[in-house]
Structure 1
Amino acid sequence: MAEGFQFAHIENFSRKGDKRGRTVGFVLGEARRDAAASLHVSSPRPPELVWGVSLDEVEREHDARAVSARKAVAGGKERAVGREQHTLLTVVVSHPYTVAEVEADPAKRAEVERWEDLNVRWLRDQFGADLRTVVRHTDEKYWHLHGYGVPGDPEMRAWMSHPGQVAKREVVAAGPAEGEDDKAMHRRSDRAYKGAMRDWQNAYFESVGVPAGLTRIGPGRRRLPRAEWHQERDQAQALRLAQEKADALRATVQQQAREFVSKTKGQGGELLASARAEAERVRAEAAQLRADAARRADAALAAVDAAQAAEARAREAAEKAQQERREAELATTAARRLSGLGGALRGLWDGLRHSKVAARIRAELMPAVEQWQKVAAEARAREAASNSQRQALAATVKELRRSAGDLGAQRDELRERLAAYEPATPEFAPAALRPHP
């Protein structure tokens, strides 16, 4: 029984290569296990062809078509396809069994052989004639397949086979919706990409995962308890067995019908009626088995939908918790900055600088602030003038006092001289110096 879940990944490549330097040549060389392109594999083994042509033939076909491919440009002209355009499509699918398990257990090998047949059928339905080869690698841990395709489009546009890229380009080509800017449009195109890829994974699950008895998503991605995931896995296995039983019964009925026809040729209607009754009984049993398989499939898909909804809720909760953590960190930083009056003023001003509301408040208060500043400046000017006048008056008073002192001293000296050299007679003496009668 498979202890795991499905894995499928689609990716396109160009001759120029991506940021990691993976060009078309490098990708095909890695698939061939060329020495320069398979350093990540400890003991490389040549790939095993499962379906289609060799990898060398794929590379020759790709390179020849890439040289001759043309794309239409303005003016009805054509030009060569750029080396940056994706011209090779690839798909990798992996089974949860390890290579060691498959090689050691014939029952598990039978399971993966059925799984491989389902994958080849699904890949051919998906990509049609563009699919050129499917190979198996057995030199890594898990059993897996690689599919490689060359676009049949005259311009070799590999994105046309990628459901996510098709959905994204459709949104971008339609342009922004009413009231939507380019940034919002690109977010919507990203959501379209993810939605298309979920649908692609669901289609793969219905075509390959269900018949192979694999679950859609593993327990780790959805944080399921192991018991619940084992229950879901057992349900997937039961569905696989029911479908296998229905297929086997259908084959048996067809074989019995052929044998009956060959034995009863030329015999009477009694045998024909008996055969028809037996065929009707077998058809009823097969219909019952198909109905049971359909119910199990519906239950499995319902479990997938519930798991995806739970995953979305968990992701939203994680994003909300992360946002709250960031806000708490910002609040903590702000609190540290606001410790002390200087920090408070700096924090207030920084907040005002980055706030549209604060900018409006500043604009409304600025005339009042400027008036207050003018009044303060005039008061300071008046105070300065008053101080200057007071200082000048003090200097004048000081000078007058000094002058008065000098005059008093001169008067006293003059009186002494008059008394010594020219004594005053009573009749001519000042009134203040005359003797009383």
Structure 2
Amino acid sequence: MNHPIVIVGGGAGGLELACKLGRQLGPERVTLVDRQLFHIWKPSLHEVAAGTLDIHQEGLSYEMLAHDNRFTFCLGAFKGLNAGQRLITVDAVRDEHGELLIPERTLVYGQLVLALGSTANHFNVPGAAEHTMSLNQPADAERFRQRMLKLLTAAELRKSAGVEAAVRVVIIGGGATGVELAAELREASQVHTRYGFRRLDGLRDVQLTLIEGADRILAPLPERVSASATALLRERAVNVVTSCRVAGVTPDAVTDTEGRSFPADLVVWAAGIKAPALLGEQGLPVTRSGQVEVEPDLRVKGQEAIHALGDCAACALPGGGLVPPRAQAAHQQASYLAKRLRQLAEGRPPSPTPYRYHDHGSLVSLGTQSSVGSLMGKLFGPSWFVQGLLARVMYTSLHLMHHQAVLGTARTATLAVARFLVKRATPLVKLH
């Protein structure tokens, strides 16, 4: 029997792979498994958290995508793997009251792709797991947004009573996620004062602190990009603290190894990621960070019928190190695997050409009006620095390219116009 290709994880890479293969092979041959009902492009979660992007407008239904791209969608969390029998277990689905909606199931596969993404790595910092929030899933971003609204409301009420009040947010980690969240929160804090929080001063009463352990934020990117982002954040009253090693987190403060304390009402952990712990329990070879070790063709080491892509895959670079956990890497790996798995499904030997990561540069959003970054490739030479509106347009185009891969050109264009019009008729931030 010709068992289907099963893809576990509907993030950017997993979903794009399912769409590409589904359009070519059909729903009987391609199945996507995910615990969520809808898809959100992970790099936009900081906008959901700040309230500048409505999760209910942005989310794309997996069932709709499955119908349009001719793959089968299976709702449920990945629970376990039996590589010998080539089957996976999908956990039961229950509602918010614990009532069983869909029982536990097993799926037999011909080829399996693990695209489970990543989760926060707290590096055993005391209190970090208990007292911080991370933006791993859409639900995390939505919880952060609701918590932020409650804090703003409480501060507004205290101000109404003549009591000084502020909302103190500490973001641990000066990578792309931390920087983008800080910029988006500052923009949202100034917008909130127009919608019912009139006693709050967006710059003074929403106090944002960004902590980074390295000597500069955005350390993997060129120094000019880091310097520009730092200057823009400080212009917007974001307290950027570098060379700061976090020693512990309590319910109301973050402390560092030098004994300094940063008061906080809300702490976000954006200082590192790791693969889901469940992967290390399946008998597969994993790294210290839990990533599955893969061959140059993205096959899991020691396995003929299991592949991995995206953040959960430890894919070696030719010159040493690993492919970075970026959306562009997941996109490239999805394109590579689509060709390889189609050849296998058609009974043809796959191309011996290994996967090669191509770094096209990085762009970091600094609000709805500006971005900063560097571009690479033959067109730009070793590195081309971009910032401002041009960089923002390029950043937005990356999101549209992902939508184009899963929705098609015409629907992506229609959706972009529709969202532009909706924003003109709704608040600039989500208020409920």
- Fold equivalence (TM over 0.5): no
| Band the TM-score falls in, shorter-chain normalisation | under 0.3
Q: Of Structure 1 and Structure 2, which has the larger fraction of its residues in strand?
A: 2
* TM-score when normalising by structure 1: 0.22
Computing the radius of gyration over CA atoms, which structure comes out larger, 1 or 2?
1
Structure number with higher helix proportion: 1
Normalised by the size of structure 2, how large is the TM-score?
Answer: 0.22
